[in-house]
Amino acid sequence: MANNITFTMIKPEAVANGTTGKIIDMIIENGFTIKAMKLKQLSKEEAGEFYAVHSERPFYGELVDYMSEGPIVAAILEKDNAVEDFRALIGSTDPAEAAEGTIRKAYAESKAKNACHGSDSDENALIEANFHFSASEMF
Ligand code: CMP
């Protein structure tokens, strides 16, 4: 599956403010196929483990609190060149720098509350997909 899948989370503020459907529409309209999807609430432990790579960053505590404050929508997406194409679709981490037409330009509130996560490599896409989904939940 390498090069063909990526992992995303629609983040708590985007789920809470009702933009889940609009974000999923953008994902499908841009050629991604949904291979797995669920609404779930991360515990602080799960959020901390998922973002462990950022544990030394000054925003880590804030990130863990925010990502566990309400439900997220986790999904595995399939498309040729999925990781790179999805990162182009979500746009820059900071919505002030995100290009027109990207998910973050349309729906992110800030660098922290930035609507949507996208894996940064094929290797991490597989790790992140397996973090959230068992084999029987992938289609
Ligand atoms: P994401 O793509 O999920 O990967 C790491 C997350 O950390 C990022 O989106 C943001 O939600 C958050 N983040 C990155 N940089 C900052 C920052 N400077 N301040 C606060 N949160 C940040």
What the chain holds in terms of domains, given with CATH numbers, is 5-134 (3.30.70.141)
Q: How far is the CA of 136 from the centre of ligand 1 (A)?
A: 30
Q: Is 117 a catalytic residue?
A: yes
- Comparing CA positions, the residue from 34, 27, 48 lying closest to residue 107 is 27
Q: What is the per-residue pLDDT across 99-130, written as a single tens digit (0 to 9) for each?
A: 999 999 999 999 999 999 999 999 999 999 99
Catalytic residue among 11, 35, 117, 132: 117
The residue whose CA is least distant from atom 21 of ligand 1 is 112
pLDDT for position 24: 98
Predicted TM-score (pTM) of this structure: 0.96
